[in-house]
Amino acid sequence: MINAVGREIPDEILEITGKEGFQGNFYMDDKPVTKIGPTIRPIMNNQKSKLVANIREALIKCEAHDGMTVSFHHHFRDGDLIVNMVMKEIHEMGFKDITICATSLGKAHDPLVPMIEDGTITRIESSGVRGKIGEAISQGKLKGLAIMRSHGGRVRALTTGEAHVDIAFIGAPTSDDYGNLRGIGGKADCGVLSYAIVDGNHADHCVAITDCLVPYPNFPAHISQTKIDYVCVVDEIGIPSKIATGAAKPTTDQRKLLMAQYCTDVVVNTPWFKDGFSYQTGVGGASIASTQYLAEIMRERNIHMGFGVGGLTKAMCQLLDDGMARVMLDVQDFDLDAVHNLKNINHHRIPAGVYANPLNKGAVVNKLDYVVLASLEVDVHFNCNVVVGSDGMITGAQGGHPDTAQGAKCAIVICPLLQGRIPAICTDVTTVTTPGESIDVVVTDYGVAVNPARPDILEALREADCVPLKTIEELRDIAYSIVGEPEKVEFEDRIVGIIEARDGTVIDVVRQIKEIKQPVVYKKRINKRRSNG
């Protein structure tokens, strides 16, 4: 079938997965949805200890088996040691055909590639994959399908039973012997455990892994003892310097600052920028700079933020500390300042489901006025691609992109027009990961384009005369005029992954990349000219 963003989704994929093609953002609105709970083993025996000696014992006690699904969270980001530690044990125990259901996978997990190659891991469900795993999937090394779903989509899949986790491994900076988990107080603090809360609620077995055992009760718990079967103490769960880094130094890259300025100009000249507005932004240099520009204008005009949400940084938390924002809602901390800022009583942890699950009774993203996002590619239909590189290789993650873009009244995507020679604004994105109907404004270093579906925004910006307005086609044409139109990247027929829309429909598929011989050798034999001498 051809879905609502014009992508061909082969019927066999719909059959195998039991899914429908993407029908548009509000397809599931107001439709009945049934939630499904886990099958658990109650602990009534007050003599029973939850402590296990090692991961292997936990695996045995949780009835690990071939074909099982194990889950992980990514709060430890590039400093994560849990995934590799658990998978190494699973690999050594000889289990096969494992599905990994992670909130995200990154470069830290490159050691999983051999396990993909030998059939230990045959399916991956994640918000995306960076690093070598992405390449392996694109090269067709994963036997089953990779499923990419957003943070909100993952919660949806677990609560509806569409995805089922046999054993969840929840890394926790601190735990007591009965499984009360907190994101702080340990050696490798990540602040919050928001992405793992749904695993606690919906996995059959939950194993807490910590490197900092504290006396009972570890309260207030971010994940409760009532969810945890076993607690395993290990030497190290993560590398602190790679989990929550020091706050990023303000960028001096003029291109990013230019885009940040345009972005701020868009925000302050659209109707939702008034006292009590809500805002989410990212961790990139342009996003952080734009938050700082925004703060200046908020002070000038005495406008306060009602709430900020998302993965948080120093720049956002500063607004809270300065009394410029009323509340911060936190699903992830990108720097130590954000972790420390959790002490502020108006800085609240929220579960990923509250943040972004499309199929609950209204997630926080629905209340967003502005979200500032990035993208690898945006096409002339405003479709975004944040997962597959322009070269066809899986290289990124959906994260909360589709969730916040749909939820926010004004979704702004910042991306430089050209990434090296690659045009970020193009005729058709390599893979659609966020539908164009969710995207309202695209900010580039060459100008700003407004989705024609949003005449209100276009009118406001035209009136304010604050940014160089271009149509999205104009931006694409500028890009192509500078770098030339790219050749279409060639793929094999085999589908290696699907991109789920928030509601579980299929928005696009990812195909296996075609091998090319590199370097290309171009030989041109020229007949020897007749010699005159």
- Nearest to other proteins of 29, 515 (CB atom): 515
Q: How far apart are CA 415 and CA 259, in angstroms?
A: 8
Work out whether strand 410-414 and strand 174-175 pair parallel, antiparallel, or are unpaired: unpaired
Smallest distance, other proteins to C-beta of residue 252, A: 7
Sign for the pseudo-dihedral over CA of 157, 160, 166, 169: positive
**Nearest distance from C-beta of residue 169 to other proteins, angstroms:** 36
Tokens of 468: 């160089």
Contact residues for 287 (Cβ-Cβ < 8 A; gap 6+): 260, 263, 281, 372, 374, 414
CB of 132 to other proteins, least distance (A): 16
In the complex, the smallest distance separating the C-beta of residue 523 from other proteins, rounded to whole angstroms, is 5
Least distance in Å: CB of 110 to other proteins? 19
Going from the C-alpha of 457 to that of each of 56, 58, 377, 454, the distances in angstroms are 56, 54, 22, 6
Least spacing, CB of residue 265 vs other proteins, in Å: 13
Q: Tokens for 67, please give them.
A: 């074909």
Q: What is the SS3 assignment for 123?
A: strand
Query: Element (H or E) spanning 153, and its range?
Result: helix 151-159
Cβ distance 372 to 280 under 8 Å?
A: yes
Which 3 state secondary structure label does DSSP give 421? coil
- Toward other proteins, which CB reaches closer, 345 or 520? 520
Nearer to other proteins, 228 or 257 (CB): 257
Token representation of residue 471: 């149509």
Q: Where are the alpha helices (DSSP H) in 62-150?
A: 82-92, 113-117, 132-138
Burial of 530 (C-beta count, 10 Å sphere; 0-12/13-18/19+) = exposed
**Distance in Å, CB of 146 to other proteins, minimum:** 20
Query: 212 or 489: whose CB is closer to other proteins?
Result: 489
**Closer residue to other proteins, CB minimum distance, 131 or 435:** 131
Phi, psi of 105 (to 5 degrees): -130, 145
Contacts with other proteins by CB under 8 A lie at: 252, 254-255, 257-258, 390-392, 418-422, 445-446, 465, 481-484, 486-487, 489-490, 516, 518-526, 528-529
Could you tell me the CA-to-CA distances from 329 to 95, 233, 243, 317, 442 in Å, in that order? 40, 30, 19, 10, 25
Beta carbon nearer to other proteins, 259 or 373: 259
Minimum CB–partner distance for residue 441 and other proteins (Å) = 18
Question: Minimal distance in Å, beta carbon 522 to other proteins?
Answer: 5
In whole angstroms, how close is the CB of 464 to other proteins at the nearest point? Answer: 13
Residue type, 64: A
For 51, other C-beta atoms within 10 Å of its C-beta total 15
Residue 255, helix vs strand vs coil: helix
- Shortest Cβ distance from residue 390 to other proteins (Å)? 6
| Contacts (Cβ under 8 Å, ≥6 apart) of 193 | 73, 75, 170, 172, 181, 182, 183, 222, 223, 349
Closest CA to 154 of 417, 402, 335: 402
